[in-house]
């Protein structure tokens, strides 16, 4: 076959295979048998092998890359991927409609598009001249991970689009937003196969999807039946006038659009249709957790704009959590890293909202007493926020309920119940469960992020005497040969672990502070404290009052910090971590002189441009300090919408008050001069 004939044949085969992919994966209307489809693919592969110079990047044979993805590069979204505010009842829907009307001219008519809120993973797809060029996860809404190689393997996502339609709609460069998911039937069958093979099952379709799209091997992604529904079109094109029209265009271009989307002429029609969608929920082949309501007009969307990280013109209407009835077989008492002993319900397995549930949280003894929970009873469970299973009711409850343990279920030490808390605690700091919990927390993503040091490995290392505190992690390099003797730890795995441990020494001070596992000091609070004090030594030497001067830090957090850092058991561990080379200081450069530097600010009310936490971070980066309450040391109060008692107190004390506009002007000026 001459080259020109081969070129035409490859082109025709590629187009034919793309059409069959569209029929099967997008329209769910196959027009060819699997065997005949495979023969077409094999014919194309043979031609491309004979003429490798004729293979194009968008060929159906090139969906799956051959190389592993070592690290996912970061992509800054051209348009931020905003999150949606939630509504839970008809009253909140009416408030959403009222706010929209107040934001538009009095004679404006508002239409709404109502769509299913698919319980999956958000994805952004970028197309240039009809070719898929980028696929990115949502990330923090501004920056996401480049997962293009994995996205290309999903056959319901077109790699190339019809040129005539691209020209017709003026879409040379545009972005599509969608939701990746896995159908419930496929998920259940997958878990059944894994059970038969003696493998660990996946928790739910959403987690499975999230893990799959971040898998480092595109060949594995290609083998997993991920699907997509697209729901938004973004382009610098004034002719894109409405959400309903954009969905029609997306469908015409070959994208998979959910057929349940509906245009409603009023908020009353929205309420009615949301009710219909909720009723149909049980019969859907995929998981949803509500509906999304969007102002249909793109012009009106632009007028209404965004607030903080959410659009004003769209909301999620969350459906009621799904429930199921099952037997409570027993209650297990788990010991966490702080020593808190938490009850967990061991259930007769039952399928609920996309996954098989065999355990559910019981929270604490107060909840057990309130619901009269006892082993051997039939209970009603639901997924809180459609994520965390919990027991919400006992069927035919009586006055009896389960008793708490008299001793720690792990180390048999005494338990105690602080006067101001509901939880009960194991008093033994050397309790193996606490030791494991503290080390797991220390190594986790978001803390020291030591890849490979998960729960099972930590348990193995503690049980075999390698780890007693998290400081011992940094001595493991001296025990390489001994590690190689443990089960499931080969040479490559050990070397990767030791490298990850060494790399963790570069984590910033805020991560280290969070990793220490101080009660009430979460990741965000650790960032605030690190930004304010700059070093651990400064926190150690700070007074209770100085700690509580940090924005959103109260007595509970200050006491937790002082108790932890003053404890003689913790001090030697911190000394060892310092010697290992961990970062106990913030490398943020000293801010130049500006309006904010060395001044104390209190934020009150709602800001349109920032969430209060973000505004506080901006102030702290410029050398200022944020405070939780108005007092004599407060230099300025920044008052947003609906500011309350803090504003009143500032006026009473004669403290200067800045509006949001004045704050933004000062901020811009400080950044410009800095």
DSSP assignments along 388-445, one per residue? EEEEEEETT--S--PPPPSB-TTT--BEE--TT-S-EEE--TT-HHHHHHHHHHHHST
DSSP assignments along 209-275, one per residue? HHHHHT-S-HHHHHHS--EEEEEEEE-S-TT--BHHHHHHHHHHHT--B-TT-EEESSHHHHHHHHH
Residue position matching structure tokens 């937003």: 177
Q: Which helix (H) or strand (E) holds 340?
A: strand 340-352
Tokens of 178: 């969608």
Contact between 350 and 326 (Cβ < 8 Å): yes
Residue position matching structure tokens 């048999």: 412
Q: Identify the CA nearest to 379 among candidates 353, 405, 354, 358.
A: 358
CA 194 to chain centroid: 26
Q: How many CA atoms lie within 13 A of 667 on its CB side?
A: 19
SS3 (DSSP) at 143:
strand
Cα distances (Å, whole numbers) of residue 579 to 166, 381, 584: 60, 49, 11
Q: Considering the candidates 117, 155, 294, 436, report the single residue annotated as catalytic.
A: 117
Tokens of 622: 């410029």
Residues 6+ positions from 535 with CB-CB distance below 8 Å: 509, 584, 585, 586
- 666 catalytically annotated: no
Angle at the Cα of 267 (from 263 to 268), degrees rounded to 5?
A: 100
Contact between 338 and 434 (Cβ < 8 Å): yes
Contact between 637 and 655 (Cβ < 8 Å): yes
Say how many C-beta atoms besides its own lie within 10 A of residue 243's C-beta: 25
CA distance from start to end of the chain: 67
Tokens of 590: 């000293």
C-alpha 616/C-alpha 621 separation (Å) is: 9
Beta bridge pairs of residue 126: 134, 175
C-alpha 514/C-alpha 644 separation (Å) is: 32
C-alpha 284/C-alpha 286 separation (Å) is: 5
C-alpha 181/C-alpha 175 separation (Å) is: 19
CA 343 to chain centroid: 26
Angle at the Cα of 617 (from 614 to 620), degrees rounded to 5?
A: 155
Q: Identify the CA nearest to 10 among candidates 57, 45, 36, 62.
A: 45
Angle at the Cα of 28 (from 27 to 33), degrees rounded to 5?
A: 120
C-alpha 667/C-alpha 195 separation (Å) is: 57
C-alpha 306/C-alpha 610 separation (Å) is: 11
Catalytically annotated residues: 117
């Amino acid at each position: 076959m001459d080259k020109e004939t081969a070129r035409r044949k490859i082109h025709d085969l590629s187009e034919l295979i793309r059409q069959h992919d569209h029929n099967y994966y997008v329209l769910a209307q196959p027009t060819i048998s699997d065997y005949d489809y495979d023969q077409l693919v094999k014919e194309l592969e043979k031609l491309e092998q004979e003429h490798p110079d004729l293979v194009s990047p968008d060929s159906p044979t090139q969906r799956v890359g051959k190389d592993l993805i070592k690290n996912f590069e970061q992509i800054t979204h051209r348009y931020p991927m905003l999150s949606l505010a939630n509504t839970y009842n008809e009253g909140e829907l009416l408030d959403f409609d009222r706010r929209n009307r107040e934001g538009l001219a009095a004679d404006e008519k508002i239409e709404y598009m109502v769509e299913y809120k698919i319980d999956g993973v958000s994805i952004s797809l970028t197309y240039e001249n009809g070719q898929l060029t980028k696929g990115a996860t949502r990330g923090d809404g501004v920056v996401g991970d480049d997962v293009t190689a994995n996205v290309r393997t999903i056959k319901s996502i077109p790699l190339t689009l019809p040129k005539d339609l691209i020209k017709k709609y003026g879409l040379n460069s545009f972005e599509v937003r969608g939701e990746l998911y896995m159908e419930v039937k496929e998920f259940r069958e997958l878990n059944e196969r894994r059970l038969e093979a003696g493998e660990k099952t996946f928790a739910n379709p959403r987690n499975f999807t999230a893990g799959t799209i971040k898998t480092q091997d595109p060949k594995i992604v290609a083998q997993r039946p991920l699907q997509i529904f697209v729901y938004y079109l973004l382009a610098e094109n004034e002719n894109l006038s409405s959400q309903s029209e954009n969905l029609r265009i997306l469908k015409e271009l070959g994208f998979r659009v959910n057929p349940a989307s509906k245009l409603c002429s009023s908020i009353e029609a929205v309420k009615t249709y949301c009710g219909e969608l909720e009723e149909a929920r049980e019969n859907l082949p995929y998981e949803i957790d509500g509906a999304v309501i969007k102002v249909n007009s793109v012009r009106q969307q632009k007028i209404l704009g965004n607030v903080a990280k959410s659009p004003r013109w769209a909301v999620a209407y969350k459906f009621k959590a799904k429930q199921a009835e099952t037997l409570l077989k027993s209650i297990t008492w788990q010991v966490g890293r702080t020593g808190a002993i938490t009850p967990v319900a061991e259930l007769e397995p039952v399928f609920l909202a996309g996954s098989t549930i065999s355990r559910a949280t019981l929270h604490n003894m107060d909840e057990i007493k309130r619901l009269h929970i006892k082993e051997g009873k039939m209970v009603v469970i639901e997924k809180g926020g459609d994520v965390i299973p919990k027991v919400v009711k006992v069927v035919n409850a009586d006055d009896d309920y389960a008793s708490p343990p008299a001793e720690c279920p792990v180390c048999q030490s005494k338990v105690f119940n602080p006067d101001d808390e509901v939880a009960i605690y194991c008093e033994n700091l050397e309790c193996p469960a606490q030791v494991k919990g503290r080390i797991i927390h220390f190594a986790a993503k978001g803390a020291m992020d030591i890849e490979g040091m998960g729960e099972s490995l930590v348990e193995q290392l503690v049980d075999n005497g390698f780890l007693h505190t998290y400081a011992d992690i940094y001595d493991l390099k001296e025990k390489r040969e001994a590690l190689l003797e443990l089960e499931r730890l080969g040479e490559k795995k050990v070397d990767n672990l030791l490298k990850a441990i060494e790399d963790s020494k570069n984590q910033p001070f805020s991560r280290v502070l969070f990793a220490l596992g101080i009660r009430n000091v979460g990741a965000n609070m650790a960032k605030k404290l690190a930004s304010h004090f700059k070093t651990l030594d400064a926190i150690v030497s700070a007074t209770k009052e100085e700690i509580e001067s940090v924005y959103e830090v109260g007595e509970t957090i200050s006491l937790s910090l002082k108790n932890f850092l003053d404890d003689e058991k913790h001090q030697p561990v911190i000394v060892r971590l310092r010697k290992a080379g961990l970062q106990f200081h913030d490398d943020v450069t000293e801010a130049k002189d500006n309006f904010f530097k060395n001044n104390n600010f209190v934020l009150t009310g709602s800001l349109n441009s920032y969430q209060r936490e973000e505004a506080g971070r901006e102030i702290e980066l410029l050398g200022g300090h944020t405070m939780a309450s108005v007092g004599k040391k407060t230099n300025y109060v920044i008052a947003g919408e609906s500011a309350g008692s803090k504003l009143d107190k500032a006026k009473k004390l004669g403290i200067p008050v800045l509006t949001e506009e004045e704050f933004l002007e000062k901020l811009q000026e400080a950044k410009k001069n800095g």
